[in-house]
Amino acid sequence: MKIRHYLVVLTLLLASCSQPTAKAGTIEAINHTKWAINHFSVDGQSGIDIIGPYQGGGGGCCYGVPPKWRPGMTVKIDWETGVGDMDGFPGFGDDAKYLAWEKKMKAQNKQHSTVVPVPDYTGQKTCGITLHFMPCDEVKVTTSCANYGHPEHPIKEPLKMPEPKVCPK
């Protein structure tokens, strides 16, 4: 009886090892806005970098999508935006001026959170996840291995996108 029990456990262990696993990749981001992305995460996993206006970055390791896409699949994106320039920086010589400038800059930071659908990647090679921060606090995601700007990259919006006067909601 004990041998049969061990064989069942061994069979279950071997079966679980043969299940497909997600290939881990990085969390990358492209910022299509005039705001800096001070920090960002996907499902709580940090994207590491600060990304300036109209730039790309990231590199947080490791993020793997499930091996099989399923309808309704989403990811939760959290991020903070802030001013993307150093206008008015007084230098470090006068503490009072510096602290006032820093307070003014931090007052413009905004926290954001959204849930975004993950596009169907059935039959495609996946390479982590790439976020595209768009005007009006919208985010698009892709698991494509093609870099932004490559003809195979599914998100085609230009890097420098103007912020509309009124955002749709």
The domain in which residue 102 lies consists of 22-142
Domain annotation covers residue 12: no
Domain annotation covers residue 159: no
The residues pairing with 36 across neighbouring beta strands, listed in sequence order, are 82
Quick check: 164 and 100 in contact, CB under 8 A? Answer: no
**pLDDT single digits (tens) 111-120:** 999 999 999 9
Domain annotation covers residue 9: no
pLDDT at 160: 95
* Residues making up the chain, counted from first to last: 169
Domain annotation covers residue 148: no
The residues pairing with 80 across neighbouring beta strands, listed in sequence order, are 39, 111
Backbone angles phi, psi at 167, to 5 degrees: -90, 135
pLDDT at 57: 86
**pLDDT single digits (tens) 78-111:** 999 998 878 888 888 889 989 998 898 889 899 9
Average pLDDT, the chain: 85
| In the predicted structure, residue 6 carries a pLDDT above the cut 50 | no
Count how many domains the chain has: 1
Average the pLDDT over 156-164 and give the result.
93
Domain with 43 in it: what CATH number?
A: 2.60.40
Domain annotation covers residue 167: no
